[in-house]
Amino acid sequence: MQRKEFRELTSVEDARILVNGIGMQPKTISILIENSIDHIIAEDIVSRVDVPSFNKSVMDGYAVRAEDTYQASETNSCTVKLIGSVPAGCQDRFFVGDGEAVDISTGAPIPQGADAVVMIEQTKQQGNDISIDRPVHIGENIMRAGSDIMRGERVLRKGTRIGSREIGVLSAIGKREVLVGSVMVGIISTGDELIQPGEPLEPGKIYDTNSYALNAGVIECGATPVIYGIIRDNDLDMEEAIDTAAGECDIVLTSGSTSAGAGDIMYRVIGEKGITLAHGINIKPGKPVVIGLIDGVPTIGLPGNPTSALTIFNEFVAPLIRRAIGASTDPKTVITAVLGTSIRSQGRHQLLPVGLVRGKVYPADKGSGAITTLADADGFIEIRPEIEYMDAGTPVGVTLFGDVTRPDVLFVGGSCPGIDLLEDLTGLRIRVIGAGSSGGFSAISNGTADIAGVNMPDASGEYNMPIIKRMGLSGVVLIKGYRREQGLITRHDSEISKIWDILEHRLINRNRGSGTRALLDIKLGELAGEKGISLREMTSSITGYDSGAKTHRAVCDAIMNGRADVGFGLRSAAGEAGLKFIKVAEEEYDLLVPKHLLDIGEIRALRECLVSEEFAGRLPAGIFVYEDSGKRIEL
Amino acid sequence: MQRKEFRELTSVEDARILVNGIGMQPKTISILIENSIDHIIAEDIVSRVDVPSFNKSVMDGYAVRAEDTYQASETNSCTVKLIGSVPAGCQDRFFVGDGEAVDISTGAPIPQGADAVVMIEQTKQQGNDISIDRPVHIGENIMRAGSDIMRGERVLRKGTRIGSREIGVLSAIGKREVLVGSVMVGIISTGDELIQPGEPLEPGKIYDTNSYALNAGVIECGATPVIYGIIRDNDLDMEEAIDTAAGECDIVLTSGSTSAGAGDIMYRVIGEKGITLAHGINIKPGKPVVIGLIDGVPTIGLPGNPTSALTIFNEFVAPLIRRAIGASTDPKTVITAVLGTSIRSQGRHQLLPVGLVRGKVYPADKGSGAITTLADADGFIEIRPEIEYMDAGTPVGVTLFGDVTRPDVLFVGGSCPGIDLLEDLTGLRIRVIGAGSSGGFSAISNGTADIAGVNMPDASGEYNMPIIKRMGLSGVVLIKGYRREQGLITRHDSEISKIWDILEHRLINRNRGSGTRALLDIKLGELAGEKGISLREMTSSITGYDSGAKTHRAVCDAIMNGRADVGFGLRSAAGEAGLKFIKVAEEEYDLLVPKHLLDIGEIRALRECLVSEEFAGRLPAGIFVYEDSGKRIEL
């Protein structure tokens, strides 16, 4: 097996120049305007007609000579004679003379001779006599021919993206078809580990996400994606797939098989079939990328990791597609915001995915292997290679991802159905980062969360306050939340009935840092005390003690699938999964909020919801509000 | 013909409550994720798998026991024994013991026993001996199972709009299909004056724009539009169309025939077939709207004027569609900006379309009959009925229209191919408001334009400066532009050869306020002087003197179509139209810029472009730069 390392990485600037230098011949097609949304106009659109094409009435009323009304007033109305009626679309030719009027509808052509329209509301009709009680001036209630769009006017510029308003303009000037840029982008996913979504997952395999995410990205550029599916990691299949795609498409994207490691053959295939322009860019995420030309068709080998692939796509491929399709503008929106936390970087040109919560910027980086890194992010900040450290409060430019709905509130802490219910009832967008109670405490202490949810017991049995005191938290308010029933979760046919049965069965435990796991530890510690052994001695004898399911639901899943016999968690989770629940304890789930946020609208809404009848009534069984709910303790 | 006036208008607030009260039963369908972009998710998406589903390597390298590397350094590397290779997707089961290593690819599962991956770059291979020159810690270069997405996690919330990142998440958890909201919206255009785009335009008729603009608006809401075409203004056709649409769709939109005037029957049809909830809303634009229910199907009669129809659609119908489809959020973006000019309002609740140029807000209102009102606007401001006047500088909330590309520069003045060329060469987005030279002078004087283009001669033959002095303009810089050849435009077979031939032929004149018309007046004035008559006496004898074509191209069109024999305009326009040009004069076309904008990037780019070789070289025949081009005169 041959190995190659990235010895020379192309700089981001050089890679941009290189991609900009790729010549593209824009192709165009004519399509019906109703199908043209999000396409890019390939020609300047010049109106061949005036809009409107005639002087038209913008009111229902009477077309008159303005001069006839100059003396009219409420006390001294003037009278004109009705000589006919012009509905919209009418082609009859009337001539309105002195003292005459024609009944006219909104949108109808002004008859010759008339130079104003009196609104119906300002007239009275008796037989053919129309009395008018207010003067109109010349041109009143008339839209002149060409005043909306002039014949000869360039109404839309080549390169414009078509939205509903552009479609309005095209139809108004009578265009049913429009010439748009047409670029076909072939999408190939490579890798022996890939499985198509919808198929059952096998060990060691992962679902192909890049085909679908790139498909959507190509559509968002206004181009036409062609998915060629998953190709296995061998030269022959890959060459065949690339040949087909390069023959049928204007740009070919592959993902995966681009690093210099074992079995990664994309760079070799591109090198052998065409010209390699760059292999490896000094960027994070996305380093292992190959840019080449095969028979003149730009062929870009994206990294296999979804976040890397999408970052490279957005940064280098989307501009190429937009240029190929003739789009005149880059739809990027950059806003300025300040860092909510300090950031270290390590000498690579970095496009760091970030979340934005009320104008503050937080890293949203789970690593480039993660798809949720991008899904949870609102945009990215660019950190140049020479930057090593940025302080909280530093203003940064955030390049927003498209249509992002930014969260109103950033929640960190123990996951709970109560939080989902608060979100649903208030209609707020809460970004929930399930980091366990200990994650909640630290996020509040370092100022990165708007609200934390904690259920961390002390050996004394007291909840949350002992930890708060130990951490010396200040400038924070604790809001008493609700109580939750915790206990053993097992199958209905199981013999398990009490906590020490855990010792003889396979346990699925929660992750470290979770309050639920801490509660189980306390209960197991009591048991150990009775037996006269240490907690560590006790837990080391429990099968599965070191497992670390990150949610209550995952605990239930493990039991339902037979991977474990018993778990420890919420009654509500057991109930939802249809499992047996044996109550062991009742715990307190509280909320922590930085003092300065206590009275902002979003937090106020959450506090009010917490003590509302509806919230109390819709909590699932095993979670309930009590007399302390909503009480505040300032720290 | 029966008349009805709007005696009682529903307030905007009441109309919102009324629309919110319409019960909608959301329907859902399951679709493939690759077709799901912009749809609304109809169920909470909970992952049934961990992502990744196994501990995976994020690097190419060697899976080892971290402990074996703790002593490694560049000077003192440690050596482990290669026992096998795990490519991505591999299902082989290795066990890595003390002192052993397995060759592993990015994305491959970590073999049992191993707890870290050493990057290939930090190793050397000799036969089966791998030497490692840096220690790794436990978990290094490993992405743990479930660390991206946890089994049991709610990854996407019901009501979320699907974009490329959501599609990434869906595919990552193996979902090939997704349940989305499905709402069919029927679209009917009514009016005897309507013609389908693509058909030839007849007198008194206009193209149907609402069908296509609403079609696009419905798509943008994530719903499915059904166009029923143009229905003529008679009860029978209308009733039949509405019956069909109400039977097939979840919401029916009609446009036109909603006012209380002659021939407007929509309110009657809705009243007879169902329940009328409101007829007439106290809003501008959009007053004549009918909201009703036919067999429980919300049926909204929108006004016929495109801007009115789209405003009511955005304000009242889109929220209804989004609710019906289960969308959780309103995609409206509201930004705060300050008025660039004062605004008067007249006691109606107004949604005033506005343009945004560098953070300042300007009305973009051509009247509700105009389609370009919305096409030129970036958003709207809401003016409550009790507000009569707002001063320039007042901060206002601007609700942005979707994906708007805001212009960099607002140009007002005489239209010119040179301005289009400046736009094309600089890549700036220039919003051109062709208001003639006199419009340019006034826009600069009242501060609403960033740049004006003027070519206004004085009887002395001097250009622009005399007018500037007369207006007393200050705080403005005049930038000398270029010279343009003006003259007679006529057909090649015409006998016209000199300016006094105009007297014996049909003229197509430019609009009042245009510098070109002013130049012709000067030339005609000279002629009148020779004849010893006044200019007015001279012009009153010219057929077509009072015509007012608003562009040079429109002048050429009139000649090409035989509607006129002669015009006065640019050589470049005549050349483009293939018409004969007889030079009469050379004029100066200059630019005016407020002093404080002179050095902003956009204006600087335009100034630099003006004196560039490329600009000079690409100007059409009859327009040319000269020694004064680019010179500045401070006023």
CA distances from A126 to A79, A106, A121, A301, B263 (A): 10, 22, 14, 80, 19
| Cα B392 to Cα B395: distance, rounded to the nearest angstrom | 9
Contact between B369 and A52 using a beta-carbon 8 Å cutoff: yes
Chain A residues lying within 8 Å of B56, measured CB to CB: 206, 369
| Cα B180 to Cα B243: distance, rounded to the nearest angstrom | 27
HSE, CB side, 13 Å, CA atoms: give it for residue B252.
Answer: 31
Contact between A375 and B166 using a beta-carbon 8 Å cutoff: yes
Contact between A220 and B163 using a beta-carbon 8 Å cutoff: yes
Task: Report residue A575's pLDDT band, with 50, 70 and 90 as the boundaries.
Answer: very high
pLDDT at A511 over 80: yes
Residue A528, token pair as written in the block: 């150990």
Chain B residues lying within 8 Å of A216, measured CB to CB: 34, 37, 163-164, 167-168
Contact between A120 and B367 using a beta-carbon 8 Å cutoff: no
ipTM over 0.85: no
Chain A residues lying within 8 Å of B255, measured CB to CB: none
Q: Kindly state the percentage of chain A with pLDDT values over 70.
A: 94
Can you name the residues that pair with B399 across neighbouring β-strands?
A: B334, B380
Q: What is the pLDDT of residues A430-470, one digit of tens each?
A: 877 777 898 889 888 877 788 999 999 998 889 999 999 98
Residue B332, token pair as written in the block: 């409206």
Q: What is the pLDDT of residue A38?
A: 86
Contact between A176 and B198 using a beta-carbon 8 Å cutoff: yes
Nearest Cα to A306, choosing from A368, A366, A264?
A: A368
Q: What is the pLDDT of residue A260?
A: 58
Contact between B171 and A106 using a beta-carbon 8 Å cutoff: no
The closest CB to that of A168, out of B206, B227, B375, belongs to B375
Residue A345, token pair as written in the block: 């970087």
Contact between B60 and A262 using a beta-carbon 8 Å cutoff: yes
Helix (H, G, I), strand (E, B) or coil at A217: helix
Q: What is the pLDDT of residue A385?
A: 85
Contact between B174 and A168 using a beta-carbon 8 Å cutoff: no
Contact between A212 and B33 using a beta-carbon 8 Å cutoff: yes
Q: What is the pLDDT of residue A565?
A: 95
Query: What is the 8-class DSSP label of residue B392?
Result: T
Residue B369, token pair as written in the block: 């009959």
The closest CB to that of B197, out of A33, A120, A331, belongs to A33
Chain A residues lying within 8 Å of B213, measured CB to CB: 164-165, 167-168, 171
Nearest Cα to B385, choosing from B22, B14, B21?
A: B14
> B590 and B463 in contact (C-beta within 8 Å)?
yes
B261 residue type, one letter: G
| Cα B369 to Cα B402: distance, rounded to the nearest angstrom | 21
Q: What is the pLDDT of residue A370?
A: 65
Nearest Cα to B171, choosing from A251, A266, A230?
A: A230
Contact between B556 and A152 using a beta-carbon 8 Å cutoff: yes
Residue B617: CB partners within 8 Å, gap ≥ 6?
A: none
Contact between B143 and A369 using a beta-carbon 8 Å cutoff: yes
Contact between A553 and B369 using a beta-carbon 8 Å cutoff: no
Q: Where are the domains of chain A?
A: 12-25+183-325, 27-51+148-182, 56-143, 333-406, 410-634
CA distances from B577 to A185, B571, B620 (A): 39, 10, 13
Please give the average per-residue pLDDT across A115-122, as a whole number: 91
Chain B closest-CA separation from residue A478 CA (Å): 26
Q: What is the pLDDT of residue B3?
A: 43
Contact between B192 and A329 using a beta-carbon 8 Å cutoff: no
> B252 and B238 in contact (C-beta within 8 Å)?
no
The closest CB to that of A420, out of B152, B154, B212, belongs to B154
| Cα B578 to Cα B583: distance, rounded to the nearest angstrom | 15
Task: Report residue A259's pLDDT band, with 50, 70 and 90 as the boundaries.
Answer: low
Q: Which residue has the tokens 């013909």?
A: B1
Helices (H), A298-403: 306-312, 318-325, 372-375
Write out the CATH class of domain A333-406: mainly beta
Burial call A110-132: b when 16+ CB within 10 Å, e when fewer: bbeebbbbbbbebbeeeeeebeb
In a mutagenesis test of the A interface, which of B164, B192, B199 is the best target, namely the one with the most A β-carbons within 10 Å?
A: B164
Contact between A168 and B259 using a beta-carbon 8 Å cutoff: no
Contact between A89 and B191 using a beta-carbon 8 Å cutoff: yes
Chain B closest-CA separation from residue A367 CA (Å): 8
In a mutagenesis test of the A interface, which of B120, B192, B371 is the best target, namely the one with the most A β-carbons within 10 Å?
A: B371
Please give the residue of chain B at the shortest CA–CA distance from A92.
Answer: B204
Chain A residues lying within 8 Å of B164, measured CB to CB: 213, 216-217, 219-220, 310, 402
Superfamily of domain B27-51+148-182: Molybdopterin biosynthesis moea protein, domain 2 (3.90.105.10)
Chain B closest-CA separation from residue A475 CA (Å): 31
Q: What is the pLDDT of residue B2?
A: 40
Q: Which residue has the tokens 């003027």?
A: B454
> B51 and B173 in contact (C-beta within 8 Å)?
yes
CATH tag, A410-634: 3.40.190.290
Chain B residues lying within 8 Å of A550, measured CB to CB: 146, 150, 152-153
Taking all residues of chain A, what is their mean pLDDT, rounded to a whole number?
A: 88
Q: What is the pLDDT of residues A295-354, one digit of tens each?
A: 999 999 998 888 889 889 988 999 999 999 988 766 667 777 888 778 888 778 888 888
The closest CB to that of A262, out of B105, B331, B427, belongs to B105
Give CA torsion, residues B56, B57, B58, B64, to 10 deg: 150
The DSSP string of A133-195 is -S---TTTTEEPTTSSB-TT-EEE-TTPBP-HHHHHHHHHTT-SEEEEEE-EEEEEEE-TTEE
Q: Which residue has the tokens 């006023």?
A: B635
A56 residue type, one letter: K
HSE, CB side, 13 Å, CA atoms: give it for residue B78.
Answer: 19
| Cα B175 to Cα B171: distance, rounded to the nearest angstrom | 5
Contact between A163 and B216 using a beta-carbon 8 Å cutoff: yes
3-state SS string for B497-541: CCHHHHHHCCEECECCCCHHHHHHHHHHHHHHHHHCCCHHHHHHC
CA angle (B188 as vertex; B185, B191 as ends), nearest 5: 160
The closest CB to that of B213, out of A120, A164, A556, belongs to A164
Chain A residues lying within 8 Å of B90, measured CB to CB: 192-193, 204
Nearest Cα to B586, choosing from B529, B538, B556, B626?
A: B626
| Cα B300 to Cα A265: distance, rounded to the nearest angstrom | 59
| Cα B51 to Cα B65: distance, rounded to the nearest angstrom | 24
Q: How far is CA B394 from the centre of its chain?
A: 25
> A161 and A172 in contact (C-beta within 8 Å)?
no
- For β-strands A343-344 and B100-104, DSSP reports them as unpaired
The stretches in chain B having pLDDT less than 70 are 1-7, 259-264, 329-332, 358, 365-374, 402-406
Backbone angles phi and psi of B268, in degrees to 5 = -70, -45
Q: What is the pLDDT of residue A1?
A: 36
Contact between B85 and A1 using a beta-carbon 8 Å cutoff: yes
pLDDT at A2 over 50: no
Q: Which residue has the tokens 């960099």?
A: B408
Chain A residues lying within 8 Å of B170, measured CB to CB: 197, 212
Chain A closest-CA separation from residue B281 CA (Å): 16
The closest CB to that of B403, out of A109, A163, A262, belongs to A163
In a mutagenesis test of the B interface, which of A90, A162, A167, A409 is the best target, namely the one with the most B β-carbons within 10 Å?
A: A167
Chain A residues lying within 8 Å of B89, measured CB to CB: 191-194, 204-205, 233
CATH tag, A56-143: 2.170.190.11
Q: What is the pLDDT of residues A61-83, one digit of tens each?
A: 999 998 899 888 888 899 999 99
Contact between A331 and B217 using a beta-carbon 8 Å cutoff: no
In a mutagenesis test of the A interface, which of B45, B106, B160, B572 is the best target, namely the one with the most A β-carbons within 10 Å?
A: B106
Nearest Cα to A430, choosing from A406, A409, A445?
A: A409
Range from A222-226, A360-364, B318-322 carrying the lowest mean pLDDT: A360-364
Contact between B205 and A5 using a beta-carbon 8 Å cutoff: no
Q: What is the pLDDT of residue B370?
A: 66
Please give the residue of chain A at the shortest CA–CA distance from B50.
Answer: A554
Q: What is the pLDDT of residue B365?
A: 67
Sign of CA dihedral B563, B565, B571, B574: positive
Q: What is the pLDDT of residue B611?
A: 95
Residue A382: CB partners within 8 Å, gap ≥ 6?
A: A349, A350, A351, A352, A397, A399
> A64 and A180 in contact (C-beta within 8 Å)?
no
Residue A115, token pair as written in the block: 């130079």
> A177 and A32 in contact (C-beta within 8 Å)?
yes
pLDDT at A405 over 80: no
Contact between B107 and A193 using a beta-carbon 8 Å cutoff: yes
Residue B467, token pair as written in the block: 């007018």
CA distances from B229 to B187, B191, B196, B214, B219 (A): 7, 11, 8, 12, 17
Q: What is the pLDDT of residues A596-608, one digit of tens each?
A: 899 888 899 999 9
Contact between B375 and A165 using a beta-carbon 8 Å cutoff: yes
Total beta-carbon pairs less than 8 A apart between chain A and chain B: 400
Q: What is the largest CA-CA distance in chain A?
A: 115
Contact between B150 and A216 using a beta-carbon 8 Å cutoff: no
In this structure, which CATH number among 3.30.980.10, 3.40.50.80, 3.40.980.10, 3.90.1170.50 belongs to the domain A12-25+183-325?
3.40.980.10
Backbone angles phi and psi of A623, in degrees to 5 = -130, 130
